[in-house]
A and B are shown apart, each in its own frame.
Chain A
């Protein structure tokens, strides 16, 4: 993949995805069982700080991806629904314009990017994120010696005072690009699998280039069950959810599910 825009002046009239690539995720809520494999896979891949008990009690736990659980109805007609929530990589991201130092911006592949060494920790971005997808490092990392051994060398260990969030495993995107480039090939659909996608036993998560209409993700995004979370905020997310199918929905729950009462980021 040749970096077309490299070295050229930015043309602001062009869409942000000027290189024909817009990474996105499709989340099929009808498949998700709430098993948490994605959550631990993400921690393992991205060198996320350990959420020790007092960290959780201080409400400062970091989970780039979490499974939100919504209760619905009254016993015995009670149901629980699971929704994986992570950075939605909005095309119109509320977190971006508020950063005074441009530590968060949109790159040409549709990724909402956090530049760690620009971040000064104002936490405005987390404040502005309606999805609670941004997390602040309140402490310097204090790892047991043995817990350093499995750190992923491709991912920065963030220091105190830095905001972080889901990157769509950008290190995996770069690696796949590099491998294809070695063979003089273009990146193919399915080459890149973020850690959560690779772990997910039920294939709830599908990752791909939404600009490429033949990609599996783009195809699934056309499914008639598709919707975006908090679409009327106008964030124009790159994460598309497919509605949960419940044949009994109209009988038991005219309201068709819950509000974001269970959303949980860390308090920014």
Chain B
């Protein structure tokens, strides 16, 4: 058994026990973690061979299974893990760019404290041994009075479990931050499908996809998973080509891939869905489950296509045709999301869209809506708790009124960047006397802290992930360190340290109920204990009688999964979901345009540290080809009316603030809508991200969705004014003169669906 073969095994499917045993017998894989000195290479090292390790990608937002090529102690390339159920060997731009978040020149290499005062922007490197005792005593003191607050990203798996137990046992308040809150999607899913884990829409096997603002190819639960399903939906072997109709506020990347797309007036997505439902029913009575949506009328007559055409901006014949196609297709799914979920009536919008699936009776059916398999371990949460915007407002309001917590712990979340600017999260959080950040990049929230204890990169640390989508398998993805920490510790002094391990060792030192709740010394031990539980089950993707062999095989495969039975849905409960109109931050008079903030397919919503990657920064936005910047996508007609040219800097003003960015004439947007991409506008985050573009989250008006308490992030209206200044938006498009071929089109289309 040579190392090369292990590499192959890591990359191929269908392994059984043989491989696992062989792996255990092939020497100390530990050696591979060492960064090898070019001078003193161990005698048995064969240069020129590389090793692939399986782990989980935490940059992609969905926890893709990946395999990482490690050579000479460095990660060289990331590919999808061909075995992993969520993404089956495929990856995305964000997964690929993980090498640059790992080898980011602006990573924080050591624990740091600010020189002189907090926020001075200058730091002193510290030793772990010097800072931990003080940290621990501050925690211990604050624990008595319940004055500890923990802020993290929404997180599931083992870290989610550890955070929950840690905060409970130490009496801390745990807040999680999701900038573009998906509460409406989750609650609509709970009411329509009986589970707040948004189900998997089986587009790979369906004949017809109806999507209303559901941008599943660029955002949503897992673009990689849905991208793969989409490929099969279009040209998969053994099936006919599926049809895809999409409604959206503007021509997004997903909309561009639809067979037909139609603009819909922002905030009327739910009404459009009811109108489609009315047309699908075609005179038949409204089923009992959908009755609440009729608002006591008993019929959906009020939503007849011609009656809503004006309000929704969708012609009646389009509604009727799409409804007819949806009804006539042997299998069909209705998807939603995107900005429809971000209105004040987001819950109604999403419920009405999801309820269309009930008309097809497709829940739990192939080509329909498949509910996710549960977590394979009862202790390990599959869902990440999310703190609503309303709770954030309350929390920040309490601070302003003088109820100030003593200690704030931050990991993986950047509320100072991501919360609307009018909340002044920075100054509110800044009132907390002791702030500790575990971030390994200097983001806006970390810049407030008194102590920075940098976390490892996820390619250097242990963790687990339960995929957001997965009806076929109940999965535990295992994230293992594939390289030694780049900023390595020497004799307990400097370097980075895994966040979970710091918490676990704190729990042990603080003792008491905390130590009982978290009995593990390290995250690795915690995962090992769970994996031992899985071994006892004796089924799944890996089986073995030997716990050690089982453990190594699970690591080699990138996790453990077992085929799951179809989960049956609870009866829908749509009570209280009558049509309500969307409210906006202001009237149309002063602020005539809808602002749609659009997460970038590359940089996401900007809340993570993806903007540190020059690859993601310089890769063309699929629709505008813009790079390295923020732009304002405007209808060419709006621009003409306002006297704005391409590359003119315009000022977008909402009730909550304004931003400046160059105008881009966007052929796929209506006159009343403005789209601004997210991801830029960082004040911090290092050389490739800071002081670049604008952060549109900052100017969102603090309008709340009543039912969920979430931020209604689509409810902001703006006005646009030219500034008289110009700039050049860096774009990949139009770099050379086009080659004109009069008789022959470069992009060719056929209307034969075969």
Let me know if B310 is at the binding interface, CB within 8 A.
Answer: no
Any B CB within 8 A of the CB of A204 = yes
A106 to chain B, nearest CB (A): 22
Point out the residues of chain A lying under 8 angstroms from B616, CB to CB.
40
A152 and B77 contact, CB distance less than 8 A:
yes
A186-208 to B contact mask, C-beta < 8 Å, 1/0: 00000000010011111110000
Least CB distance, B99 to chain A, in whole angstroms: 4
Query: A residues within 8 A CB of B668?
Result: 71, 75, 78, 80
Let me know if B231 and A203 touch, CB within 8 A: yes
Considering the complex, give the chain B residue whose CB is closest to the CB of A202. B231
Residue-wise, chain B 60-88 has the 8 Å CB interface mask toward A (1 for contact) of 00000000000110111111100000010
Q: Which of B82-107 contact A (CB under 8 A)?
A: 87, 89-93, 95-97, 99-100, 102-105, 107
CA distance A45 to B80 in the complex (A): 14
CB within 8 A of B748: which of A34, A74, A232, A257? A257
Interface of chain B residues 473 through 511 with chain A (CB within 8 A) = 486
A7-49 CB contacts (< 8 Å) to partner B = 28-31, 33-37, 39-41, 43-45
Residue of B nearest to A131 (CB): B739
Contact A259 to B738, CB < 8 A, known contacts A201-B228, A246-B749, A248-B751? yes
Contact of B235 among A28, A70, A227 (CB under 8 A): A28
Q: How far is the CA of A198 from the CA of B96 in the complex (A)?
A: 11
Residues 158 to 197 of chain A near chain B (Cβ within 8 Å):
179, 195
Cα-based distance from A80 to B253 in the complex (angstroms): 8
Cβ–Cβ < 8 Å partners of A56 in chain B? 618, 627-628, 730-732
The CA-CA distance from A66 to B100 in the complex, in Å, is 20
B130 at the interface (CB under 8 A from A): no
Query: Is there a chain B Cβ closer than 8 Å to A145's Cβ?
Result: yes
Is there an interface contact between B259 and A246, defined as CB atoms closer than 8 Å? yes
Are B751 and A201 closer than 8 Å at their CB atoms? Answer: no
Asked if A63 lies at the interface with its beta carbon under 8 angstroms from chain B, I say yes
Complex CA distance for A247 and B601, rounded to whole angstroms:
27
Complex: how many Å from CA A227 to CA B748? 8
Task: State whether A36 and B748 are in contact (beta carbons under 8 Å apart), knowing that A31-B230, A262-B738 are contacts in the complex.
Answer: no
Contact status B217-A230, CB under 8 Å:
no
Contact with A along B206-242 (1 / 0, CB 8 A): 0000000000011000011001101110110000010
Among B76, B253, B746, which residue has the most Cβ atoms of chain A within 10 A? B746
A230 pairs with B622, CB closer than 8 A: no
A141 within 8 A of B: no
Contact B79 A199 (CB under 8 A): yes
B589 within 8 A of A: no
Binary per-residue interface labels of chain A (237-256) against chain B in the complex, 1 for a CB within 8 Å, 0 otherwise: 00001011111111001011
**A52 contact set on B, CB distance < 8 A:** 614, 618, 628
Q: Does B51 contact A (CB under 8 A)?
A: no
* Residues from chain A with Cβ under 8 Å of B735 in the complex: 59, 61, 132, 264-267
A267: B residues at CB distance < 8 A: 735-736
Q: Is the CB of A80 within 8 A of B256?
A: yes
In the complex, how many angstroms separate the beta carbon of B610 from the nearest chain A beta carbon? 11
Nearest-CB residue, chain B, relative to A246:
B749
User: Which listed residue (A201, A232, A248) contacts B223, Cβ 8 A?
Assistant: A201
Q: How far is the CA of A207 from the CA of B690 in the complex (A)?
A: 40
A245 to B257, CA, bound (A): 11
Do A36 and B627 touch across chains, with their CB atoms under 8 A apart? Answer: no
At the interface, yes or no: B658 with Cβ under 8 Å from chain A?
A: no
A146 touches B486 (CB 8 A): yes
Expressed in whole angstroms, the minimum distance between the Cβ of B744 and any Cβ of chain A is 6
Complex formed: what's the CA distance from A263 to B747 in Å?
11
Cα of A83 to Cα of B235 in the assembled complex, Å: 16
Q: In angstroms, how far is the closest chain A Cβ from the Cβ of B343?
A: 21
With A28-B235, A40-B97 as known contacts, state yes or no: A145 contacts B105, CB within 8 Å: yes
> Interface residue tally of chain B, by bracket?
35 or more
Bound CA span A232–B224, Å: 36
Residue of A nearest to B82 (CB): A198
Q: B99 contacts which of A150, A203, A257, A263 (Cβ < 8 Å)? A: A150
Smallest Cβ-Cβ distance to B625: which chain A residue: A69
> Is A2 positioned at the interface, with any CB of B under 8 Å from its CB?
no
Is B718 interfacial (CB 8 A cutoff)? no
**Shortest beta-carbon distance, A153 to chain B, in Å?**
6
Complex: chain B residue closest to A252, CB-CB:
B260
User: Are B228 and A78 touching (Cβ within 8 A)?
Assistant: no
Say yes or no: is B42 at the interface (Cβ < 8 Å to chain A).
no
Neighbouring B residues of A43 by C-beta, 8 Å: 96, 615, 619
Most B Cβ at <10 Å: residue of A36, A130, A198: A36
In the complex, the answer to whether A78 meets B99 with C-beta atoms within 8 Å is no
Known: A57-B730, A149-B103, A264-B732. A40 touches B739 (CB 8 A): no
Interface set, chain B 605-625, CB cutoff 8 A to A:
614-616, 618-620, 622-623, 625
Tell me, yes or no, whether A67 is within 8 Å of chain B by CB: yes
Asked whether any CB of chain A lies closer than 8 Å to the CB of B413, the reply is no
Complex Cα–Cα for A267 and B76 (A): 30
Within the assembled complex, what's the spacing in Å between the Cα atoms of A253 and B689?
41
A67 to B620, CA, bound (A): 8
Please tell me which one of the listed residues A44, A179, A230 contacts residue B96 in the complex, with CB atoms under 8 A apart.
A44
Question: Hey, which chain B residues are within 8 Å of A70, CB to CB?
Answer: 746-747
B46 at interface (Cβ–Cβ under 8 A)?
no
Say yes or no: A33 contacts B257, CB within 8 Å.
Answer: yes
Say whether, besides A34-B253, A256-B745, A250 and B103 are in contact (CB < 8 Å).
no
Indicate whether B20 reaches chain A with its CB closer than 8 angstroms. no
Contacts of A261 in B (CB 8 A): 734, 738
CA distance A234 to B84 in the complex (A): 44
Residues B256 and A34 in contact, CB atoms below 8 Å apart: yes
| Given the contacts A56-B730, A262-B733, A201 and B739 also touching, CB distance less than 8 Å | no
Q: Decide: B745 and A258 in contact? CB cutoff 8 A.
A: yes
Closest to A150 in B: B99
Contact of A76 among B93, B263, B732 (CB under 8 A): B263
Q: Tell me, in angstroms, the Cα distance from A11 to B743 when the chains sit together.
A: 37
The contact of A263 among B103, B243, B739, B750, by CB within 8 Å, is B739
**A229 in the interface (beta carbon within 8 A):** yes
Residues of A within 8 A of B601 (CB): 35-36
Contact of A146 among B105, B218, B747 (CB under 8 A): B105
> B616's closest neighbor in chain A, by CB?
A40
B262 on the A face (CB < 8 A)? yes
Closest chain B residue to A81, Cβ basis = B747
Q: Which residues of B contact A71 (CB under 8 A)?
A: 667-668
Determine if A231 and B749 form an interchain contact, defined as CB atoms under 8 angstroms apart: no
Report whether A30 and B234 are in contact in the complex, using a CB–CB cutoff of 8 Å.
yes
How far is A203 from B224 in the complex, measured between Cα atoms in Å? Answer: 11
Q: Which residues of A contact B99 (CB under 8 A)?
A: 44, 150
The CA-CA distance from A145 to B104 in the complex, in Å, is 9
- Tell me the smallest distance from the CB of A157 to a CB of chain B, in Å: 13
Q: Interface code A105-138, partner B: CB below 8 Å = 1, 0 otherwise?
A: 0000000000000000000000000101000000
* Interchain CA distance A78-B80 in the complex, whole Å: 34
B223–A130 CB distance below 8 A: no
Which residues of chain A are within 8 angstroms of B619 by Cβ–Cβ distance?
Answer: 36, 39-40, 43
21 CB-based A-B contacts, threshold 8 Å: A30-B234, A33-B257, A35-B601, A44-B78, A53-B618, A56-B730, A56-B732, A66-B732, A70-B746, A79-B251, A80-B256, A80-B667, A82-B256, A150-B102, A199-B95, A199-B96, A202-B228, A202-B231, A229-B746, A258-B745, A260-B746
- A68-B746, A69-B625, A262-B625 known, 8 other contacts, Cβ within 8 Å: A37-B92, A37-B96, A75-B263, A201-B227, A253-B749, A258-B746, A264-B734, A264-B736
Nearest 9 pairs between A and B by C-beta? A201-B227, A202-B231, A51-B618, A264-B735, A80-B256, A34-B622, A144-B105, A249-B751, A150-B99
Measured CB to CB, the residues of A under 8 A from B are: 28-31, 33-37, 39-41, 43-45, 50-53, 56-57, 59, 61, 63, 66-71, 74-76, 78-83, 130, 132, 144-147, 149-153, 179, 195, 198-204, 224-225, 227, 229-233, 241, 243-250, 253, 255-267
